[in-house]
Chains A and B, each alone.
Chain A
Amino acid sequence: MKITPLFLPTLALAGLSLFVGTTAQAVDLTGAGATFPNPIYTKWFSEYKKVDAAANFNYQAIGSGGGQKQILEGTVDFGASDGPMSDESLAKAPGKILHIPTVAGAVAITYNLPGVTSLKLDGPTLADIYLGKITKWDDAAIAKLNQGAKLPATPIAVAHRADGSGTSYIFTDYLSTVSSEWKDKVGKNTTVKWPAGIGGKGNDGVAGLVKQTAGAIGYVELIYAVQIKLPVADLKNADGAFVKPSLEGITAATATATIPDDFRFSMVNAPGKDSYPISGVTWLLVYEQQKDAAKGKAMVAFLKWALTEGEKQAKALDYAPLPDAVQKKVLARIETIKF
């Protein structure tokens, strides 16, 4: 009887210490950012549980802007962005932020032209359409690219994204590359001052605008165009070949793109006859010097897995994996993360 009151708390304490002992090994890693890679990141985090049961990833798809802001403020362990961080932003960071490319995607040009089943476009023409300079479908510039096709004399209804998005970033990056007028007047960003057309919210918003309006043209993420089976235009690439958007076309573009040391590269209008011109990668953002050793160790292990095993799952989810050569370069960079 005398032992019991003493014994019970001791037992409880022992139980508690046992509990604490096992959870101490679990590592919680929080991240936030881009919505575009969210499906594959979610898949990776759940698959990685099988490799390391102690690593708990919590990812919030709040948008690239939010991802960049949160990694700068250090409120998350990793960020994610569809556009590279600016020099200005990087300078504000308390430490060196690494850009780790993970997978690539593309932007497809979709249209609604009753009676026209295939459409060929090139960069300057596309830029002029979005600048509001080409306003009719039977314009000489479009007709020249589509000889033999019956183009209607209807006005072109231009659709773009109303919300800020990585898709718009890649698209305007491409237009800035192929048209100096676009570069000077509009530039590239997640949202720009659109010279023409109207905006839809999200890929579905733009697809809806195009689907409902005869004579409309719009741009959507490739995954979205594939899944909804939208008509897509063939684009003339840097080598002069007309290519349809495809995962192979994106990987080909990643292979020929010039990649700088910090991986903040743009791969629009990449050379190579198979390259699809409007493609881009998405990045994870991590500090080179990790503050928490346990977290840093888990992060590095995960990144290594993602860039090898993870890449193999990309195609099933309609993302383009990085070419082997790029994977190797990125893996070498992951090794430099200190914790």
Chain B
Amino acid sequence: MPTATTTMEAPTTATAAQRMRPVSRASEFAFRGLCLAMASVVLVLVLIVGYQLWRGAGHTFHRFGLSFLTKSDWDPNANSFGALPFIYGTLVTSLLGLLIATPLAVATAVFLTELAPNWLRQPLIFLIEMLAAIPSVILGLWAIFVLLPVLNEHVFPFLQKTVGFLPIFSGTSFGGYSVLAASLIIAVMVLPIITSVSREILRSVPDLQREAAYGLGATRWEVTRIAVLSYAKKGIFGAMILGLGRALGETMAVTMVIGNANEIKSSLFAPGNTLASVIASQFNEAADDSYRDALIAVGLVLFGITLIVNLCARLLLKFGTADAGAVH
């Protein structure tokens, strides 16, 4: 009933608006202005955050210069601060998390759009959306009680036995608290984002694409690979960028499983730390001005890395799309 009335009214209001030109222009102007104002709020917020961080970090960069980015020493007592271990930890955990999550997410999205029977599709989509709704701290607790013991007792010893000659899989771990554990938890967190966005992208691939491929006698795998994935790769890359944004800033769950050691170790079994994690855990009790400033500078570095990574991803996207759209 309500839908019927709205469809009945819609044409009358439209013609009324057309007749009353001046009113329509005013509302058009107001609408544009409102949208512009709302959109500029985001821009202003980013600028304010950037400026505040820049100002707060000024002392630190003035004192340490670029060595703040290249030094590994983090010693509040000696007033010596270097953020390299955190930069390293953030990049390694984010990229590794993305590397683990992307194949899973894309395969899930393909299954959901191309292969899944109807009765399975909706429950699966619902479950994936549920995964995105789990708070970070709950995932962290789950990792401590379930994931870490499994990693420590089964996965790490197995990796050590089979591929232990590689430095990244060498050495012992302390209860599973490690860079690898943090990467895995990040993978779990970005999985739903990449899956959901990829699914939308795959759904938007025109059926004409698929039909054309089938018409050429392609198998299901070939249709998916040639007609669907190739068509959607730009979008899937975009989904990965969204996931990366979440991965770079993830704090709570990472702090809980990474072991918070402010040093760079070659082994993924060793503890590490990230930019977001060190700010969250140390800012509260940082009493000295120089210590506080150093943590704000860490924030600026995180801000900068997020910008640079996103910019690079966008450039890559633009660069890589020259041949996209064309089906190989």
- Is A213 in contact with B287, judged by CB distance below 8 angstroms? no
- Is B271 in contact with A201, judged by CB distance below 8 angstroms? no
- Is B287 in contact with A62, judged by CB distance below 8 angstroms? no
Contacts of B177 in A (CB 8 A): 198, 209
Stretch from B74-82, B109-117, B307-315 that touches the partner: B74-82
- Is A162 in contact with B281, judged by CB distance below 8 angstroms? yes
CA distance A191 to B256 in the complex (A): 17
Please report whether the interface of chain A is mostly helix, strand, loop or mixed according to DSSP.
loop
CA distance A7 to B175 in the complex (A): 77
- Is B76 in contact with A191, judged by CB distance below 8 angstroms? yes
Interface positions of B from 286 to 325, Cβ below 8 Å from A? 286-288, 291-292
| B148 lies within 8 A of chain A by Cβ | yes
Shortest distance in angstroms between B74's beta carbon and chain A's nearest beta carbon? 6
Of the residues B75, B280, B292, contact of A65 by C-beta under 8 Å:
B292
Interface magnitude class on chain B: 20 to 34
Contacts of A198 in B (CB 8 A): 174, 177, 259-261, 271
- Is A186 in contact with B149, judged by CB distance below 8 angstroms? no
Kindly report which residue of chain A lies nearest to residue B148, judged by CB atoms.
A212
CA distance A89 to B286 in the complex (A): 13
Binary CB contact string for chain B from 253 to 274 against chain A (1 if under 8 A, 0 otherwise): 0011001111000000001010
Binary CB contact string for chain A from 150 to 185 against chain B (1 if under 8 A, 0 otherwise): 000001010000111110000000000000000000
Interface positions of B from 149 to 198, Cβ below 8 Å from A? 149, 172, 174-175, 177
| B144 lies within 8 A of chain A by Cβ | yes
| B200 lies within 8 A of chain A by Cβ | no
- Is B175 in contact with A165, judged by CB distance below 8 angstroms? no
Binary CB contact string for chain A from 75 to 105 against chain B (1 if under 8 A, 0 otherwise): 0000001010110010000000000000000
Q: Which of B259, B281, B285 has the most CB of A within 10 A?
A: B285
CA distance A264 to B126 in the complex (A): 58
| A278 lies within 8 A of chain B by Cβ | no
| Interface residue total, chain A, C-beta cutoff 8 A | 40
CA distance A166 to B287 in the complex (A): 11
| B204 lies within 8 A of chain A by Cβ | no
CA distance A191 to B78 in the complex (A): 11
| B18 lies within 8 A of chain A by Cβ | no
- Is A193 in contact with B74, judged by CB distance below 8 angstroms? yes
| A68 lies within 8 A of chain B by Cβ | yes
Shortest distance in angstroms between A293's beta carbon and chain B's nearest beta carbon? 30
Given A162-B255, A200-B260, CB of A216 within 8 Å of CB of B74: no
| B40 lies within 8 A of chain A by Cβ | no
Kindly report which residue of chain B lies nearest to residue A162, judged by CB atoms.
B260
Q: Which of B144, B175, B260 has the most CB of A within 10 A?
A: B175
| 9 A-B residue pairings within 8 Å (CB atoms) | A163-B282, A163-B284, A164-B281, A190-B285, A193-B74, A193-B77, A198-B174, A199-B281, A212-B175
Besides A69-B287, A198-B174, A212-B149, 8 new A-B residue pairs in contact (Cβ under 8 A), listed by A number: A63-B285, A64-B285, A162-B273, A164-B286, A198-B259, A199-B281, A201-B281, A212-B148
* A→B interface (CB under 8 Å): 35, 62-66, 68-69, 81, 83, 85-86, 89, 155, 157, 162-166, 186-194, 197-201, 205, 208-209, 212-213, 216
